[in-house]
Structure formats: structure tokens, C-alpha cells
Amino acid sequence: MGNGNNTRLKLKEALRNQAHALGFDVVGFAAPQPPPGVERLRPWLAQGRHGSMIWLEKNVARRLDPALVLPGVGVVVTLGMNYRPPRVAAEDESASHRPKIAAFARNEDYHDVIKARLGKLARWLEQTWGKPLGGRVFVDTAPVMEKPLAVAAGLGWQGKNTLLVSRKWGCWLFLGEYFLPLDLPPDRPFLGHHCGTCRRCCDVCPTGALDGHGGLDARRCIAYLTVESKDPIPREYRESMGNRVVGCDECLTICPWNRFTPATQEKAFLPRQDLDHMSLLEWIDWDEAQFRHFFKKSGIKRIGRGRFLRNMAIALGNWGEEAAVNGLIRLTYESDSLIRGAVAWGLGQAVRQKKSQTAQTLAAAHLKRWVHEESDPLVLAEIHGAMS
């Protein structure tokens, strides 16, 4: 294949068409240079807004500049796949005895699905080109700022929920990139910001994580607290978590730019039927092997059973009825103190909420016994907090 302008444009269009044929809904080409907006990363890190995600502090220079990620890169093909669920949440998810799981975790792990699809795109291109090209594909798997890159590729803007919002597809898009060592002409960056005076995402956020100016404090975000953080969830956010046990979709769901987004066509992203109608109690008796088996294809396995049960204990506390208290009591015997600490809070929450006299009495009596048996200082502090 030659190097003329015409040939490059043709190749670009062929690549775009092939990406669509492989199921990508949006495709754009970004210049291999720092995309607009990335200069905010350093101040964001300096303010500690990334919490315990210290991996974000590593390779900052590379994160800012795609040319350092793959020397010789000529263009960054930036792609997105719509994952809007047919129903945003199972109807009965608002019931406090049901777990609320964000759409990204309701079926197969998007990293695996999209990476495989990007691999197919790369193989197709190499066959068309006639020889290996040495490109790299990423889905949240390299120090890359995917949203600013998507803006640079003309796909949309970063909304006040901080996510990439497309005028056509809204914000239910997973992003991925194909770093390509071919000198293809980039698309025009997306200029402008179409949030206007809207601030619905900021107002709906249960923990006030969005500052209204396009910034997010991850330490307050339920997605961070339930998925990324390995620590006890700070007390001030536990009640606001409600029954959200994995991630949070509130600031996506509310966005008016999703109004015309169709449901995903991608089977792997359709919500698993067996998650619907499950009670919180059905999940807590699984051992490690059962947990891993049930979630073997899901992103939830990355969270691990310990963090998952920590989150479940908080949701059980917020449910606060007798059945929830019985579930919490069963979790008291877990060896992981992260889980037991959350269980202590859950029991205290059941006492405070006074949803039923029996639940309250049962929880208070268990705390009284447990305080004499527990030896872990952090769990003991939680028990004392729950009893006060």
C-alpha cells in the first residue's frame, strides 16, 4: 500500500468501517500529542483526589503524552462501545434488600470484551497492510487518559460528571484505543462543552463527589469506595451508599444526553438475568471458590470477595430489617477484619434505623456479646462506634 494522502484517507475510512463492523459505535483518530484537559491531572493528584489509587501517580509523563506510551505512534485510534442497559436498573433494585450493581459489572468484564475486539481490528489491519505493524491496544490497561484522548479524537466532551459525553451516544460508552505507528491524519478535536447550565449529575450524586466544574473527588465517589478502595469505607459515606454494592451509575443515568441512546447491541453487556431478583442474603454465604465461579467472567471478580462482602455488610446495615441483621451476624465469623469492621457498623446502623423492634434488639444484643470476643483493634473501634 502506498503512502499518498489519498491512500491514507482510504485506509482511515476502511479502518473506521471495520471498527463499526466489529461492534464499535464510535471511532475517532487523535493526534499523538498531549490531548486538551490532561494538564489537570497533576493538580488533581496534588490535591489527593485520587485517594489510594497510587498507580495514577506512576508514569505521569507517559499518561499525559501518548507519544511516550508507544514511541513512533502516528495516530491514536480512539473507540467507544455503547453499553447502555435496556433497563437502567432492575425494577426492584430500589428495594433495600436487593443489591444495586452498576451496569459495567452486570455481565462480562468490558476490559476482556473490548480488548479482544481491538485485537481483531489490529489483526485485520495487519492483514490488509500485509505485514506486522507493531501497534498496541488498550482498554484502561495502560497509563493513558482515555477521556481527553476521546475528546481529541472528536468523539465528545467531558461532562460535569467528568465522563466522555457524545452528542449521539450520551455517556454509556466504554472507551479503548489502538496506538498505531502509521501516519494517518487525525480527526478534528471536539470543541465546546454541551452541559450548559445543567448540573443534574452533580445534584444527584449521593456523596457530593462532583464539584460542578468538571472535577471529581474520587475519595467521595461510590465507584471508588466500592470498587477501588481496599480500606474501610469512611463512615460519612456508608449511609449514602444505600444498597450500591458495586460501582454507581447515578451521574450517568440522569444525564439528558442519554435520552436517545438505544440499548446496547452487545450481548456481553446485557445484564445477566440471574442477577435480577437476588436478595443481598443470597450472596453472603459463598466461599471464595463459589464467589470466583459465579463472577468468573465479570469485573466483580477483580474486586475480590473481601471488598465485596465489606460492601454487602454496609448494604445489609442500610436495609436494617431482621433478616439483614441475621445475615450480618453470620458475617461476624469472617476471618477478614475489613468485613467484620463493616459488619459492626451494619449492626449499629440497624439499631439506629429502628426499622423493627426485633431487628434492633437482635443487633444490639449481638454487639454486646461480640465486644467481649473480638480482638482486632480496628474492629473493636467499629463495635464501640456502633454501640455508642
Q: Which of 61, 71, 130, 213 binds ligand B12 (CB under 6 A)?
A: 213
Q: Which is nearer to ligand B12, 13 or 39 (CB)?
A: 39
d(CA 16, CA 289): 42
- 141 alpha-carbon distance from chain centroid: 14
Amino acid of residue 74: G
Q: Is 218 in the site for ligand B12 (CB under 6 A)?
A: yes
Q: For the chain, how many residues are written?
A: 388
Scanning the chain, the segments in alpha helix (DSSP H) are 5-21, 41-46, 60-64, 66-69, 110-129, 146-152, 200-204, 222-223, 235-241, 250-253, 288-294, 300-319, 322-331, 337-353, 357-373, 377-387
CA angle 337, 366, 307 (to 5 degrees): 25
Q: Is 40 in the site for ligand B12 (CB under 6 A)?
A: yes
Q: Is 161 in the site for ligand B12 (CB under 6 A)?
A: yes
Active-site residue, 140 included:
yes
Q: Is 64 in the site for ligand SF4 (CB under 6 A)?
A: no
We find the least distance from the C-beta atom of residue 157 to ligand SF4, in angstroms, to be 9
Q: Is 160 in the site for ligand SF4 (CB under 6 A)?
A: yes
User: Which residues are CB-neighbours of 91 under 8 A, at least 6 positions away?
Assistant: none
DSSP 1: -
Q: Is 175 in the site for ligand B12 (CB under 6 A)?
A: yes
Q: Is 308 in the site for ligand B12 (CB under 6 A)?
A: no
Q: Which position among 25, 92, 112, 140 bears the catalytic label?
A: 140
Tell me the β-bridge partners of 136: 179
State which of positions 168-197 bind ligand SF4 (CB under 6 A). 195
Question: Which listed option, ligand SF4, ligand B12, none, makes contact with residue 164 (CB within 5 to 8 Å by class)?
Answer: ligand B12
Q: Using an 8 Å Cβ cutoff, are 205 and 211 in contact?
A: no
To the nearest 10°, report the CA torsion of 357, 358, 361, 363. -120
204, with CB counted inside 10 A (0-12, 13-18, 19+), is: middle
We find the least distance from the C-beta atom of residue 169 to ligand SF4, in angstroms, to be 13
We find the least distance from the C-beta atom of residue 132 to ligand B12, in angstroms, to be 25
Question: Which listed option, ligand B12, ligand SF4, none, makes contact with residue 215 (CB within 5 to 8 Å by class)?
Answer: ligand B12
Q: Is 256 in the site for ligand SF4 (CB under 6 A)?
A: yes
Q: Is 223 in the site for ligand B12 (CB under 6 A)?
A: yes
Site string for ligand B12, 111-150 (x = CB under 6 A): ----------------------------xx---xxxxx--
Q: Is 89 in the site for ligand SF4 (CB under 6 A)?
A: no
Q: Catalytic positions, please?
A: 140
Which residues of this chain interact with ligand SF4, rule CB under 6 A? 159-161, 165, 195, 198-201, 205-207, 209-210, 216, 221-223, 248, 250-251, 254-257
